[in-house]
Amino acid sequence: MTPYPHPIIAKEGWPHLAIAVIVAAVAAYFFGWWSLVLWAVALFVLQFFRDPAREVPQGAGLVLCPADGRVLVVGKERDPYLQRDALKVSIFMNVFNVHSNRSPVDGLVQNVTYSAGTFLNAALDKASSGNERNALHLRTDAGADVTCVQIAGLVARRILCYAKAGDRLARGERFGFIRFGSRVDVYLPVDARPRVAIGDKVKAGSRILAELPGFPPA
């Protein structure tokens, strides 16, 4: 994939921001200060689609957070995509988090699996299996399998994934975006060592999520 240059505003947001600003400007011309509510909407759109650059930690076997947000789950569960026992870490993104999704590891995309579903609150456990979702199966050069699942939320209606089978992703590289509140689940080898805990607030591409087995602790 072509590296994303990380402008101030995510490329997905420009059409939304342009519409919001134009509507607010027209309202300001005709209705003056009554347009303040629409300017507030434009500011919300601006903050939602911000996409700051991140400094990517270096080190063998590191797994990075694929999303900004709050950690909901850290524990052993079944990976429904690879049919294996796994360490699952879930991150919930509210509407005030950055919504760019970044690759947790250096690896080759094996499969991309889209599943239609509902739009429940992404903070609920059943959202992992019931909501619309898109799973990315990555394999590192050392042979570790990592499943990264984008999950739509209550108001999210669009999952964007730009990676496809055969693509090579670099750790911290941007591969997708979810609009307006959502969740990302990561399934790791069951003996991976977590570096986050439930309740932690994390940032994509810069916070270490876990360490893969077979590598010395960082």
DSSP per-residue codes, the chain: -PPP---SB-GGGHHHHHHHHHHHHHHHHHHGGGGHHHHHHHHHHHHHTB----PPP--TTEEE-SSSEEEEEEEEEEETTTTEEEEEEEEEE-TTS--EEE-SSSEEEEEEEEE--B---TTSTTHHHHB-EEEEEEE-TT--EEEEEEEE-SS---EEE---TT-EE-TT-EEEEE-SSEEEEEEEETT-EE---TT-EE-TTTSEEEE-TTS---
Of the candidates 90, 100, 103, 182, the residue annotated as catalytic is: 182
Mark whether 182 is an active-site residue.
yes
Could you give the residue numbers annotated as active site?
Answer: 182
